[in-house]
Chains A and B, each alone.
Chain A
Amino acid sequence: GESVGLHLPTLSVQEGDNSIINCAYSNSASDYFIWYKQESGKGPQFIIDIRSNMDKRQGQRVTVLLNKTVKHLSLQIAATQPGDSAVYFCAELPASAGGTSYGKLTFGQGTILTVHP
Chain B
Amino acid sequence: DAGITQSPRHKVTETGTPVTLRCHQTENHRYMYWYRQDPGHGLRLIHYSYGVKDTDKGEVSDGYSVSRSKTEDFLLTLESATSSQTSVYFCAISREPPGRTDTQYFGPGTRLTVL
Contacts and interface: CB of A to CB of B under 8 A. Distances in A.
Interface of A: 31-32, 34, 36, 41-46, 49, 51, 89, 91, 93, 100-105, 107-110
B31 A44 contact: no
17 contacts: A42-B108, A43-B90, A43-B92, A43-B107, A43-B109, A44-B106, A51-B99, A89-B43, A93-B98, A100-B97, A103-B94, A103-B97, A103-B99, A104-B48, A107-B44, A109-B42, A110-B42
Contact of B45 (A34, A42, A104): A104
Given A51-B99, A109-B40, A109-B42, 5 more contacts: A32-B98, A36-B106, A41-B109, A44-B106, A108-B42
A14 to B, nearest CB: 28
A42 B109 contact: yes
> What's the interface size class on B, roughly?
20 to 34
5 closest A-B pairs (Cβ-Cβ)?
A43-B106, A32-B99, A103-B97, A107-B43, A107-B42
- B contact face: mostly helix, strand, loop, or mixed: strand
Contacts of B103: 34, 46, 49
B27 interface: no
A41 B107 CA distance: 11
Nearest to A46: B103
Contacts of A89: 42-43
